[in-house]
Amino acid sequence: MAEIKFPRAHVITGGFPAGSPAGHDHDHARLRLLTLLAEKSMPASVANDFGDLAKWLAVSRLLVTYVAGPYPDAAQCAALKPWLEAGGHWLALHGTSGGRAERVDGVRQRRTVKTEHHALLGCMFLTHPPLCKFTVDVRDATHPLTQGVSGSFEVEDEPYFVELQDAANTHLLLTADYGARAVSDIVTRLYPADSSLQPDGKTRVLGYTRALGKGVVTYFALGHCHNPASREGRPQDAERPVMRGAWESSAWDTLLRNAINYTPA
C-alpha cells in the first residue's frame, strides 16, 4: 500500500434492506464516528453498504463498519483481503459480524449464514439475549488498542454471542462472563452448539484483533443504539425509546479513539 500523507477513512453505516434502520440508530453511530475521525483531522467518505467498497479502499487506510444486515459479498471480500494484507485496518463494530440470515422452523429469530466475510472478519454472530448491563473485562491492557481503559468496565448493551473463525491467530482484547443475566435458550436450536463459549465454558469474546499480512482487523461487538424511528413496531421498547448504551461510555470512546489512531506494525 502506497504511503498516504493524510490517511483517509471510509465509514459504512446502514441497515438492510436499503433505507431500513434494522433496529439501530445508524445516524447516531455515524455522527459519533465522524466526530471522532474529525478530532484527528482524518478525512472520511461515507456509505450505507459495501456496494462501492473497492473504489474507496483505493484511497483509504482505515475502514470502519457499523451495519445491521449489509455485508461484503465474495467479490467485495476479494477486494478487501489484499487491501488488508497491504497494510489496511478494518475496524468492524457490532452487527458487522452478522450478515445474511435464514429462517429456522419453529424459531422466530433467524440463523446467520456463514459467508466469505466471516472468514475475513474472523467471527460470526450467533445471537444475543435482551439488552442488559454487564461487565466487560480487558484481556490485554498493554495493547495499543486498549490503552487508557481500566481492567474492566460496566456497559449496557446487547450481550453478543460470536463464534471465532480463527481462534489460534486471534488476539483477545475484551471478554465478558454474562452469567445468569444473559442466557439464550434458542442458540442451540439455531446452531449445533453454543460455539461462542470459550474453553472455560462461561466467557465470551467481545473484542479482538488479528493480523492479515501487513494489515489488521479489529472487531468490537459493543455499540447497540436505537431511537423511536429505528424501533417502530416494537412494543417492548415503549419504556426505552432512546438507548445509547456504550456510546455514552468513556471506555467505549477511548477504545474507538485508540482504534482510529492505531497503525498496523
SS3 174: strand
Kindly report the pTM of this predicted structure: 0.95
Residue 72 belongs to what H/E stretch?
none
Q: Which domains are delineated in the chain?
A: 9-261 (3.40.50.880)
Reference 13, options 32, 31, 28, 26; nearest CA is 26
Whether 144 contacts 138, CB under 8 Å: no
- What is the pLDDT confidence band of residue 54, given thresholds at 50, 70 and 90? very high
Q: For residue range 164-197, what is the model confidence (pLDDT) as tens digits?
A: 999 999 999 999 999 988 889 899 999 999 999 9
Portion of the chain with pLDDT greater than 70, in percent: 95
Sign of CA dihedral 110, 111, 115, 118: positive
User: 265 exposed, middle or buried (CB, 10 Å; 0-12, 13-18, 19+)?
Assistant: exposed
Residues with Cβ within 8 Å of residue 69, at least 6 apart in sequence: 14, 15, 16, 17, 20, 22, 95, 98, 99
In the beta sheet, which residues pair with residue 11? 46, 64
Residue with cell 476479494: 78
Q: For residue range 126-142, what is the model confidence (pLDDT) as tens digits?
A: 999 999 999 999 999 99
Sign of CA dihedral 226, 231, 236, 237: positive
- What is the pLDDT confidence band of residue 8, given thresholds at 50, 70 and 90? very high
Query: What own/partner pairs with CB < 8 Å and gap ≥ 24 does 247-251 have?
Result: 247/28, 247/29, 247/32, 247/223, 249/153, 249/155, 251/136, 251/149, 251/150, 251/153, 251/155
- Bin 262: left if φ > 0, else alpha if -120 < ψ < 50, else beta: beta
